[in-house]
Chains A and B, each alone.
Chain A
């Protein structure tokens, strides 16, 4: 799973029926210091709970397809949680 920030919204009326009622967000992946890494991706938010600017964590690949309660959907990035805080300890 990866950490990212919601930086945008995509509106689509013609989409796979399994995506009805979900939200499509543009996510900027972040590193452990909350700096942007890689290019933004589009993720599904099946609960439509992640707001603009929020820090979230996502799953990618085939694992994202099983995020919906109503069965498998054709998505390769999905928001699976909204981050409240992150603590990173110095080890060693």
Chain B
């Protein structure tokens, strides 16, 4: 999984019918130093994340293993909202 911050929402009226009702969010990847990277993903939200929250994103076929994404055409899912990150004994993020 990768660490990311939710920076926006995506609205699409014309989409695959299986995606109806799902929330699409734009996530910017964060490094393990807490700094944003120039990498972005559109991910389905399965845990009720909002803009500004630090989250974990699972990519690939694993993204289909939530109740919100089961058997849907999805390759990125937000599957956790992060409370804190500690790396090398140093807290790099605290909610």
Q: Give residues in A with beta carbon < 8 Å to B.
A: 7-16, 18-19, 24, 26, 39-44, 61-62, 64-65, 72-77
**Interface contact B62-A10, CB-CB below 8 Å:** no
Which B residue's beta carbon lies closest to that of A15? B80
Chain B residues with CB under 8 A of A39: 31-32
Q: Which of A8, A24, A64 makes the CB contact (< 8 A) with B62? A: A64
Contact of A74 among B46, B83, B86 (CB under 8 A): B46
Q: 21 A-B Cβ contacts within 8 A?
A: A8-B87, A9-B85, A9-B86, A10-B86, A12-B83, A15-B47, A16-B46, A39-B32, A41-B1, A42-B56, A61-B62, A65-B65, A74-B62, A74-B66, A74-B69, A74-B79, A75-B58, A75-B62, A76-B1, A76-B60, A76-B63
CB distance from B55 to the nearest CB of A (A): 9
Say yes or no for B10: interface residue by CB 8 A criterion.
no
List the B side residues contacting A8 at CB < 8 Å.
Answer: 32, 85-88
C-alpha spacing A7/B60, complex, angstroms: 24
Are A62 and B82 in contact, CB atoms less than 8 angstroms apart?
no
For the complex formed, measure the closest distance between the CB of A64 and the CB atoms of chain B, giving whole angstroms. Answer: 6
Check if A74 sits within 8 Å of B85, measured CB to CB: no
In the assembled complex, the CB of B26 is this many whole angstroms from the nearest CB of chain A, namely: 19
Q: B60–A26 contact, CB under 8 A?
A: no
B13: Cβ under 8 A from any A Cβ? no
The residue from A24, A40, A72 contacting B80, defined by CB atoms under 8 A apart:
A24
Q: Which residues of the other chain, A, contact B56 by a CB distance below 8 angstroms?
A: 10, 12, 15, 24, 42
